Amino acid sequence: MTKTISLFLGIIIASQAQAGMRQYQADLASSEWQLSQNSRLNCTLSHNIPNYGEARFASIASRSNNLMFELDMLRMPDSYSLAEVRSVAPSFRPGMSDRTLADMKLFKQFNPSLSKKVAWTMLSELEQGMNPTFYYDDWYSNADKIAVGLSTARFQEAYREFVGCLGNLLNFSFEDISYTVLNFEFGGDKFTKASLRRMAMISEYLSLDPELELVLIDAYSDSYGGRWTNQKTSEKRANKIREYFVKNGIDASRIEAKGYGEKRHIASNNSVIGRSKNRRVVIQMEKP
């Protein structure tokens, strides 16, 4: 019996020696988790992996809850492959079994990532003291493997800050407001209630995103009344929106406002509904 066990252990040791394992993971002294992005537009929890790169969990402002994980490698793979994502018990917790969480595709052109469900699972495993680890074949030697682990050291406080940031994200994204059509009440420059709500959303987003280079405001009228009057009414509407943004702290140099009067109708002016559609202001926002 003793000889059998010794032989079995010898086989294991020999197989481990044949298949080398390069490991990348922050030790207790170098492990650092931090909230690298903390705003109402973006929350990012990042973790440096010495000599390898950076792991990031991120969520952005949106109408739906979202989360993704990205592994930012210092050196990209030379070929396409798969990495097995496993939750590994630390050495000081004997008896706990590892488990596979997912497979992650490795690409030559861009950083590998994981979707919301797996990303949340990884955060949950970290919160419970487990180490999510990525295993894949070394692209220079098929006999060798690479293991990239996420450390739980100094995780809890940064994770609490990250969860707090997630709860403060805007419930709409840039795509939701980048092209907006506002409508006015008949005969003047008074906003409808729906337009007022939309204006507040746009103003809040503008105040938070310095990357927005230009806001274009184009105002139009219906053809009810005199052409000159309609032109002036459209200009007044465009400038009113511009003044609203400036009053709410938006740099005036980022805003262009123009009135086009009766030009570019989108509906017939022969009906009340058609004229209401033509009394509109189009707001477009541009990013670099």
* Local structure of residue 277 (DSSP, 8 states): H
Judged by phi (left if over 0) then psi (alpha if -120 to 50, else beta), residue 268 lies in: beta
pLDDT for residue 179 is more than 60: yes
Q: What is the pTM of this model?
A: 0.80
Q: CATH 3.30.1330.60 residue ranges in the chain?
A: 174-286
Which of 32-36, 37-41, 186-190, 218-222 shows the lowest per-residue confidence on average (mean pLDDT)?
186-190
The residue with greater pLDDT, 103 or 14, is 103
Q: What percent of the chain has pLDDT over 90?
A: 53
The tokens for 97 are 């079994």
- Of the two residues 269 and 118, the one the predictor is more confident about is 118
Average pLDDT value for residue range 249-275:
78
73 band by pLDDT with thresholds 50, 70 and 90: very high
**Residue ranges of the chain that CATH labels 2.60.40.2540:** 21-166
- Per-residue pLDDT, 84: 97
pLDDT (0 to 100) of residue 234: 87
CA separation for the pair 41, 205 (Å, rounded):
8
Give tens-digit pLDDT for 221-241. Answer: 777 777 888 889 889 989 989
Q: What is the CATH number of domain 21-166?
A: 2.60.40.2540
pLDDT at 115 over 70: yes
Integer Rg of the chain from CA: 28
For domain 174-286, give the CATH superfamily. Answer: OmpA-like domain (3.30.1330.60)
59: left (phi over 0), alpha (psi -120 to 50) or beta: beta
Question: How many residues does the structure list for the chain?
Answer: 288
As a whole number, mean pLDDT of residues 247-276 equals: 79
* Element holding 42 (H helix, E strand): strand 42-49
